[in-house]
Structure 1
């Protein structure tokens, strides 16, 4: 009896330890894919829900964005007249790149390709980049489609001034769907998200510049007003940052240790006023 008790106790401890041992889930492409798609839609929902969690600084940033956009609204027609002087000087290949790169079909070919490479090479950082790109583009693209049908702002090429609106249309009304710029949104979203891979400020600046070419071209070709493009670029930054913070909780691989905070302040000077964004 004395011998049996230690044996029974040892057997009981072994069974309890075995039950508590974690079961390792086999990692497969399908598991990674389903996890990433869940993270993508979770990131989209996170971005849309952020206004319900805004505090003082967040509302201040929203106010700066609204004020800056409203300021540009007042001079959009003058800026369109100014662009008349350079339209003939912009090379055709730049225009072709600007109009094609921000196209949704081309955008998802790029972002989907980046994600696919990360998935098949089992590179978590590249997978995360692809998820960030696709989630940000989807969140911004859906918002843009809804907004332009509600606001119905005239495009420059319509011949109407920038203050002309044809409100609330479920169907798209061509030349009255200017605000805000989808091409700029998609292109700068990609540029901003990809630039996160690098710490060098000159590399970042170069990527941002390439990402703003579609916005510049859309103004030159009279598809959009300057305020449409500026608002799209700023909104892209907020969407990418919001989703990237969400993905911090979903992936162990980080791009770098840089802060994800975006700061704003108004800048005044002789005969000028502007909004400075630090990121």
Structure 2
């Protein structure tokens, strides 16, 4: 099966990444009432949150979902700038959706049919298998970082998929497979297969996983984001080549996967900082 060499390669890369795990301790210092410096070592148990499949993890899904959907109420100038970029780019692509479709139609060949057939499953089958494989490998090898990363990835993917599913149910846009007009829409919550184009679920899935891997390993291993996002871009290109989505669908799917996953990891870091500060406060005289 073509999925086996893919998962094997991903497994080798993850083993390499996790061979360079971060330190389990964090050093913090503070001045006491006499102004002398004392140094306190906070262990990983004091400063990190590592998930397992239990009640705490399941509860965090609801907490992160609420955090994600409530973010617009807390946006600042930079956030609105990012929104402007996403919407502006979507509008620009909307204007050239038909031309992009025609470009790929003119360049269909047997070679590219074969290539896109190998890449396309990263947006559905490969990504869940990869996350599941990461979890099993982490449990078997007792690698808590890998186990935790797989669960964070799964949670990000679940939350982004919930938002995507609701959006697709409301915005019933015609697929380019069936229409040449990119502005064909059906009534919200209609159930026909012809109006399921917006946004791209494949792109959302692969971008969610790519962003999670970049968040977890990108700082220590700069090559990880390059590989992960390159696969995501290639996957999105296959959806255009196969006439399954308009270019604006792919862009919005990628944006949803990226920003939702970034938000989930940001919230997790906030919770870790709160835990570390509470642990530090408990050691102060």
Tell me the TM-score normalised to structure 1 length: 0.71
How far 1:205 sits from its partner (Å)? Answer: 1.7
The reply on whether 1:221 has 2:238 as its aligned counterpart is no
How far 1:202 sits from its partner (Å)? Answer: 4.4
Counterpart in 1 of 2:40? none
Q: Out of 198, 201, 219, which is 1:182 matched to?
A: 201
Runs (5+) with no aligned partner, structure 1: 1-24, 26-30, 253-279
The reply on whether 1:163 has 2:183 as its aligned counterpart is yes
Counterpart in 1 of 2:152? 132
How far 1:54 sits from its partner (Å)? Answer: 1.4
SS in 2 for 1:175: coil
Counterpart in 1 of 2:24? none
Tell me the TM-score normalised to structure 2 length: 0.70
The reply on whether 1:149 has 2:169 as its aligned counterpart is yes
The reply on whether 1:116 has 2:136 as its aligned counterpart is yes
Cα deviations across residues 181-222 of structure 1 (Å, max 9, x unaligned)? 000110121122213313454442232111222211111000
CA contact (8 A) 1:111 1:134 kept: yes
CA contact (8 A) 1:99 1:214 kept: yes
Q: Out of 245, 259, 266, which is 1:238 matched to?
A: 259
CA contact (8 A) 1:97 1:214 kept: no
Q: Out of 98, 120, 123, which is 1:99 matched to?
A: 120
In our comparison, the structure showing a higher alpha carbon Rg is 1
CA contact (8 A) 1:128 1:251 kept: no
Runs (5+) with no aligned partner, structure 2: 1-44, 46-50, 274-285
Q: Out of 173, 192, 195, which is 2:192 matched to?
A: 173
CA contact (8 A) 1:191 1:207 kept: yes
Q: CA distance change for structure 1 residues 116 and 202 in 2, over 3 Å: closer, same or farther?
A: closer
In structure 2, what is the Cα distance between the partners aligned to 1:232 and 1:210?
15
Cα deviations across residues 76-115 of structure 1 (Å, max 9, x unaligned)? 0011111112222653443223332212x55333223322
Give the aligned CA root-mean-square deviation in angstroms.
2.4
In structure 2, what is the Cα distance between the partners aligned to 1:45 and 1:69?
26
Q: In terms of mean alpha carbon deviation, does 182-191 or 131-140 score higher?
A: 131-140
